[in-house]
């Protein structure tokens, strides 16, 4: 694509947007595909589905609990010890917990539409209804 020195900034931005790929492509995805694997990403802003977040929170908690010197070398050693204490059972429990949260959220999202009935508001009522009809309804 040709660029002219007399083009405005907004015109140049439009040209750049057209050149940018629509989807992000990662080298890791290509490598994984070559090995018959697919990278599945979590939805954005849903860190509660990521078991690494739970494990890291546990590690940070253990470090905070035992940190009494606040020296970087001591903190580094505490992180190393806490990471080594993480077991496969811990990973499994965190994975189950994340799966349950995600499943619960999916159920909520599906049920939300069934539970809430649509509300219809008529802005311009038709002329067939009169004030007399409304007064009769009030008597019941």
Greatest mean pLDDT range, 5-14, 39-48, 85-94: 85-94
pLDDT tens digits, 23-32: 788 999 999 9
Decide if 48 contacts 98 (C-beta within 8 A).
Answer: yes
Greatest mean pLDDT range, 36-40, 65-69, 114-118: 65-69
Beta carbons within 10 angstroms of residue 85's beta carbon:
11
- Please give the angle made by the CA atoms of 109, 114 and 116, to the nearest 5 degrees: 95
pLDDT tens digits, 28-45: 999 999 999 988 888 888
Decide if 1 contacts 18 (C-beta within 8 A).
Answer: yes
DSSP for 17-68?
HHHS-SS---HHHHHHHHTT----PPPTT-GGG-HHHHHHHHHHHHHHHH--
Report how far residue 93's alpha carbon sits from residue 108's, in angstroms, rounded to the nearest whole number: 22
Domain boundaries, the chain: 9-118
Q: Tell me the C-alpha to C-alpha distance, in Å, between residue 111 and each of 46, 49, 106, 119, 121.
A: 20, 20, 9, 17, 23
């Amino acid at each position: 694509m040709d660029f002219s020195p007399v083009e405005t900034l907004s015109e140049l931005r439009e040209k750049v947007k057209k050149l940018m790929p629509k989807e992000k492509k990662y080298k890791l995805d290509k490598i994984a595909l070559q090995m018959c694997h697919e990278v599945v990403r979590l939805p954005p802003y849903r860190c509660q589905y990521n078991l690494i977040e739970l494990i890291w929170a546990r590690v940070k908690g253990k470090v905070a609990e035992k940190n009494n010197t606040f020296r970087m070398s001591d903190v580094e050693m505490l992180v190393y010890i806490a990471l080594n204490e993480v077991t496969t059972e811990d990973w499994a429990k965190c994975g189950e917990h994340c799966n349950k949260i995600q499943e619960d959220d999916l159920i909520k999202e599906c049920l939300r539409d069934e539970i809430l009935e649509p509300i219809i508001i008529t802005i311009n009522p038709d002329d067939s209804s009169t004030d007399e009809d409304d007064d009769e309804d009030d008597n019941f």
